[in-house]
Every structure is written in structure tokens, then in C-alpha cells.
């Protein structure tokens, strides 16, 4: 029995050593592929990929976890031309860099404000989806003067009950990165497809052609898997720090949530609406987590109303 245990320990140690070597030698891609939009701007020493279109009222879109600029297409293409629309890959996601970043809401809020300042955005309407809604909460409690209104869409605004066990493994420094790099091509595509089916439910029939293939290409980057894991692992404690300040939010605040969301319970948005006194709440029937794809006309209407158009 002792011999078997010793052999198993040797095997385990060898596997951990392989993951360690892969993790410490793997490199991230930050250049933007030719078939993808955007360019880089440096914010606090981090290369942030962003894209900007139109002129007029500033709107900043913040994606979830994992996510990228592409999560707002084709929605932003349907917006009126009198908006200046800015989308960006959050640190560690898409084709933004992942060196010396904080995998938490505070750091994400700092990057968003830095981007607003660097691009000279004014009187901004900020729209955030899922974890992007969490970033909205970290921004809103600061009451920044550059921001006019907040629109969390299926926002994760309260601690979640279950964290995927695989995130704890990927979240381990270096070894977790090695595991992510080694395992992504074997288990990643199937996990992404299943996850997107769940995210779109009950609207699976509207998943755009090529949507899943594009996400496999973007989301299975090692840096993205690590960023996803660490942000998810930090989310509950991050939210607990700012929840006591929710009641002090005074800017225009419109909450949008699907009634069939399997990722973020609509009850969280109901609770948030009660706490933020001047907020407006829209619960959308027969709608899942991917609101911007299932109900783009409603999101557009809300943005127009907030902008005064």
C-alpha cells in the first residue's frame, strides 16, 4: 500500500512539475489579429485594446467574464450614429495585456476611469454586462463626475453561491496557468459551447453564425482563462466591500435583467432596485443572460431615453 501511495505521489509531483514548466514558459498574445477590430492604448502601464465609432454622446460598454469587444456586436452597429461608442477588452481579456494587473473590481474600475480620461470621454453613459455590471457597481459607489448614468445588464451585483471548482485550480499561481495552457484545447471548446448555450437560454436559436468559434479563439487564450478564474474567485469578496455603499448611489441608474437568466438570478436586480432609491428596473420576459442579443431594441431604447434622444 505504501508503495502505491509513493508511486501516486511521484506521478502527481511529475504532473505538477509539467504544469509549472508550462506555466512559467507560456507567453500571452497581445497583438490584435488582422481580422479583428481595434487598436491599443496604454492605461496604467497596461495595453488596452479598444475601438471607437461615431460622434456625439459618449457611451462606454464593459463586457463580462470572459469577454471582449466582440460581445457587443452586432448590437453597437444598430445604435444611432449620433453616439460616440467606445468598447474595450478589460485587462487580461481579449487582446489586452495581462501583466501586472489586479484581478478585482477595484482595478477594473481604475482602468475604466483611466480609459475615460485618456480618450477624453465626457458625460458618459456606462453600460456593463454580467461582470461588467459588477464593474459598474465599483464605479457607481465612487460617484465619478465624468459619468452621467449607469446601465447594468444582467449585472452580477451580489455574491454568487457557486464557484466552478476548476477556477480554484487555474487560480493557483504558475501551476494553474500551466494547467490552463495544457488543458484548454482538450476541454475548452466543449465547455465554451455548453456555457454559451446556458447563457443564451431560452434564446439559443439566436446565437449568431460563427459566434462560438470566435469565442473559442479568444477565450481559450491562457491569460483569459487565468483572468477569468481569478476574477471569479475574487468576485464575492470584492462585492462585499462595496455593497454597504450601494444606497449612496445617486446618478441615473437603470437595471436590466432577463427573467430566465441562468447565470445571475434576477432576484439580485430586484434587491438592488430597492436599495438604489432613484433606480429604474426592467425585467424582460423570455430572456436569458445575453440580453444585448435577445432584446437589443429594448437596450437601445433605454440608452436613447437616458441620452435624451
d(C-alpha 168, C-alpha 184), whole Å: 15
> Tens of pLDDT along 143-184?
999 999 999 999 999 998 877 788 887 888 876 666 777 776
User: 209: closest CA among 293, 289, 130?
Assistant: 293
Residue 306 has what pLDDT?
96
Q: Is the pLDDT of residue 14 over 50?
A: no
Residue 173 has what pLDDT?
80
Residue 34 has what pLDDT?
86
Which cell goes with 108? 477594473
Overall domain count for the chain: 1
d(C-alpha 47, C-alpha 284), whole Å: 36
Q: Is the pLDDT of residue 16 over 60?
A: no
Which cell goes with 282? 426592467
Residue 160 has what pLDDT?
86
**Percent of the chain whose pLDDT exceeds 70:** 87
Domain with 97 in it: what CATH number? Answer: 3.40.50.1820
Q: 87 near 76, Cβ under 8 Å? A: yes
Exposure b/e, 135-151, CB count within 10 A at least 16 = b: bbbbbbbeebebbbbbb
Q: 280 near 306, Cβ under 8 Å? A: no
Q: Cα–Cα–Cα angle for 150, 232, 106, nearest 5°?
A: 50
**Average of pLDDT values for 276-286?**
96
Question: Would you call 60 helix, strand, or coil by DSSP?
Answer: strand
For 183, the domain range is: 2-307
> Tens of pLDDT along 17-67?
334 344 444 556 668 888 899 999 999 999 999 999 999 999 999 999 999
Residue 81 has what pLDDT?
84
pTM equals 0.91
> Tens of pLDDT along 182-201?
776 666 788 899 999 999 99
> Tens of pLDDT along 101-115?
999 999 999 999 999
Residues 6+ apart with CB under 8 A from 227: 65, 66, 90, 91, 92, 93, 98, 101, 103
Residue 24 has what pLDDT?
44
> Tens of pLDDT along 222-248?
999 999 999 999 999 999 999 999 999
- 179 vs 6, higher pLDDT: 179
Name the average pLDDT for the chain.
88
**Average of pLDDT values for 254-281?**
97
Amino acid at each position: 500500500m505504501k508503495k502505491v501511495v509513493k508511486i501516486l505521489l511521484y506521478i502527481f509531483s511529475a504532473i505538477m512539475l509539467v504544469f509549472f514548466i508550462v506555466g512559467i514558459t507560456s507567453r500571452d498574445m497581445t497583438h490584435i489579429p488582422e481580422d479583428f477590430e481595434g487598436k491599443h492604448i496604454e492605461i496604467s502601464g497596461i495595453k488596452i485594446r479598444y475601438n471607437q465609432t461615431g460622434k456625439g454622446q459618449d457611451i462606454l460598454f464593459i463586457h463580462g467574464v470572459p469577454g471582449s469587444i466582440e460581445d457587443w456586436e452586432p448590437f453597437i452597429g444598430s445604435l444611432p450614429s449620433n453616439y460616440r461608442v467606445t468598447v474595450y477588452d478589460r485587462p487580461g481579456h481579449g487582446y489586452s495585456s495581462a501583466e501586472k494587473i489586479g484581478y478585482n473590481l477595484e482595478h477594473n474600475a481604475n482602468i475604466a476611469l483611466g480609459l475615460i480620461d485618456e480618450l477624453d470621454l465626457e458625460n458618459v453613459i456606462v453600460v456593463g454586462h454580467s461582470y461588467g455590471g459588477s464593474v459598474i457597481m465599483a464605479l457607481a459607489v465612487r460617484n465619478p463626475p465624468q459619468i452621467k448614468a449607469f446601465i447594468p445588464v444582467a449585472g452580477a451585483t451580489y455574491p454568487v453561491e457557486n464557484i466552478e471548482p476548476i477556477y480554484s485550480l487555474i487560480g493557483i499561481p504558475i501551476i494553474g496557468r500551466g494547467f490552463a495552457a495544457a488543458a484548454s484545447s482538450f476541454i475548452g471548446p466543449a465547455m465554451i459551447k455548453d456555457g454559451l448555450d446556458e447563457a443564451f437560454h431560452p434564446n439559443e436559436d439566436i446565437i449568431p453564425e460563427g459566434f462560438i468559434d470566435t469565442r473559442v479563439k479568444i477565450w481559450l487564450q491562457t491569460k483569459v482563462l487565468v483572468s477569468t478564474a481569478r476574477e471569479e474567485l475574487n468576485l464575492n469578496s470584492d462585492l462585499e466591500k462595496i455593497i454597504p455603499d450601494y444606497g449612496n448611489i445617486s446618478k441615473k441608474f437603470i437595471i436590466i435583467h432577463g427573467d430566465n437568466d441562468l447565470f445571475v438570478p434576477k432576484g439580485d436586480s430586484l434587491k438592488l432596485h430597492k436599495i438604489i432609491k432613484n433606480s429604474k428596473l426592467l425585467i424582460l420576459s423570455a430572456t436569458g443572460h445575453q440580453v444585448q442579443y435577445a432584446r437589443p431594441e429594448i437596450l437601445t431604447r433605454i440608452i436613447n431615453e437616458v441620452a435624451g434622444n
